[in-house]
């Protein structure tokens, strides 16, 4: 896609057409199953902990008949989260978007807030829903995270904060972002939806900035069916957020603050606690899958699996591939189509960038001119299926499909003389 800041990156087509797919006798007109695949193979299949332990917690909840309103499971989950992350407070919420909205309002943000465009759209929506303008900054193309230098160029008198997103669980340049923030007297909060269980310089994500927001959606590393939390060491901020998530009630009848209904339910906390107990098992499976993809895709020109810092802890929840259309004969979208035809439902993240989604595209039509790295990365990134239900045989089959697409689409080697 053309911008005034970078050359056009049109979608490439294979130099030679991909080999015709087998007859489409699978479900929904898809090609039949490939050996090793249990079709369809999805990105984001939920991880499960001990099913019996989960059902026992749910039975206890039913016996108590306490399903919401800061029940004992929610309280236990919050304590366990805070202990795991190493902060004083984890304030749970019904989902991460509401958690972000509550954090934004508790911090008193207004005007403009600088965020990456390479993030899930909810990061921007949580601001815009409260009539705050998200100002999109470019990313570091090596890390896919917010670039501190790009932030500096966007600070104005209307800027009230900076939001960084820890993309793929790889933490932002926290020191760089917070140095910019200190120079301009701005608070920093982090969208840590991908980063539960990850570390930065040996310290758990969750304790940086004024606060950090986690997602416990069903597709996340730690899931609570649906849910989120704000982690912070700020006692006053935590107390304010607890009031805000429950209509501002302090006690039975005394409303002391503007609020909403952002409470986590007991059944979600039951799932969250069960997931938390299974974290090491889930990390082990994710890491096994990640290394299997690394090995299976090694040596394919133009296809690179992103790396995780071996010194830091990571949850390995995302297996992310960058496809370089200048180095191989198919672009990312052609590869996605090939995988989808074989029921491997790989995903394009965070395509096409939040700045190209509504209402931001209409409100800021020229934003793309300042986002050349965002545009380039969004055209190349591919997320592959992983998780507990993705077997080594399935990964081998996916890697074979990718290798097939690249090799068959590659130009013929020049004849030797």
Supply the DSSP symbol for 135: E
Sequence length of the chain is 417
One pLDDT digit (tens) per residue for the chain, 417 residues: 333 333 232 332 333 343 333 333 343 434 445 555 656 899 989 999 999 999 999 999 999 999 999 999 999 999 999 999 999 999 999 999 999 999 999 999 999 999 999 999 999 999 999 999 999 999 999 999 999 999 999 999 999 999 999 999 999 999 999 999 999 999 999 999 999 999 999 999 999 999 999 999 999 999 999 999 999 999 999 999 999 999 889 888 888 888 999 999 999 999 999 999 999 999 999 999 999 999 999 999 999 999 999 999 999 999 999 999 988 878 999 999 999 999 999 999 999 999 999 999 999 999 999 999 999 999 999 999 999 989 999 999 999 999 989 877 644 344 444
Q: pLDDT, tens digit, for every residue of 264-297?
A: 999 999 999 999 999 999 999 999 999 999 999 9
Q: How far apart are CA 77 and CA 18, in angstroms?
A: 50
Q: Domains along the chain?
A: 27-46+279-346+385-409 (3.90.1150.10), 51-277 (3.40.640.10)
* Stated pTM of the model: 0.89
Q: What is the pLDDT of residues 156-204, one digit of tens each?
A: 999 999 999 999 999 999 999 999 999 999 999 999 999 999 999 999 9
User: What stretches of 246-379 adopt beta strand conformation (E)?
Assistant: 303-305, 319-323, 344-345
**In angstroms, rounded to a whole number, what is the distance separating the alpha carbons of residues 144 and 172?**
9
31: DSSP letter: P
């Amino acid at each position: 896609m053309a911008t005034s800041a970078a050359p056009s990156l049109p979608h490439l087509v294979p130099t030679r057409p991909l080999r015709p797919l087998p007859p489409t006798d699978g479900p929904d007109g898809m090609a039949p199953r490939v050996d090793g695949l249990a079709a369809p193979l999805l990105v984001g299949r939920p991880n499960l902990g001990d099913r019996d332990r989960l059902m026992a917690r749910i039975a206890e909840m039913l016996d108590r008949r306490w399903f919401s309103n800061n029940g004992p499971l929610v309280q236990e989950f919050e304590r366990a989260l805070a202990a795991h992350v190493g902060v004083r407070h984890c304030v749970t919420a019904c989902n991460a978007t509401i958690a972000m909205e509550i954090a934004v309002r508790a911090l008193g943000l207004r005007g403009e807030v600088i965020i990456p465009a390479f993030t899930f759209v909810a990061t921007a929506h949580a601001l815009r829903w409260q009539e705050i303008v998200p100002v999109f900054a470019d990313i570091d193309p090596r890390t896919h995270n917010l670039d501190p230098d790009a932030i500096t160029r966007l600070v104005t008198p209307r800027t009230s904060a900076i939001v960084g997103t820890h993309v793929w669980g790889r933490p932002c340049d926290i020191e760089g972002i917070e140095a910019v923030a200190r120079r301009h007297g701005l608070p920093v909060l982090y969208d840590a939806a991908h980063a539960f269980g990850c570390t930065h310089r040996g310290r758990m994500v969750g304790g940086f900035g004024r606060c950090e927001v986690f997602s416990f959606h069903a597709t996340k590393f730690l899931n609570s069916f649906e849910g989120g939390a704000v982690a912070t060491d700020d006692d006053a901020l935590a107390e304010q957020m607890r009031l805000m998530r429950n209509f501002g009630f302090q006690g039975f009848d005394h409303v002391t603050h503007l609020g909403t209904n952002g409470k986590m339910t007991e059944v979600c906390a039951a799932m969250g606690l069960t997931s938390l107990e299974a974290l090491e098992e889930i990390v082990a499976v994710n890491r096994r899958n990640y290394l299997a993809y690394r090995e299976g895709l090694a040596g394919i020109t133009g296809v690179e699996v992103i790396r995780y810092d071996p010194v830091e802890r990571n949850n390995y929840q995302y297996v992310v591939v960058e496809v370089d259309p200048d180095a191989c004969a198919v672009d990312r979208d052609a590869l996605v189509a090939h995988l989808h035809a074989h029921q491997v439902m790989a995903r394009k993240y965070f395509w096409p960038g939040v700045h190209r989604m509504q209402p931001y595209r209409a409100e800021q039509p020229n934003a793309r001119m300042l986002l050349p790295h965002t545009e380039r990365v969004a055209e190349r990134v591919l997320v592959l299926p992983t998780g507990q239900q993705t077997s080594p045989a399935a990964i081998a089959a996916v890697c074979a499909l990718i290798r097939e697409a690249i090799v068959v689409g590659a130009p013929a080697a020049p004849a030797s003389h």
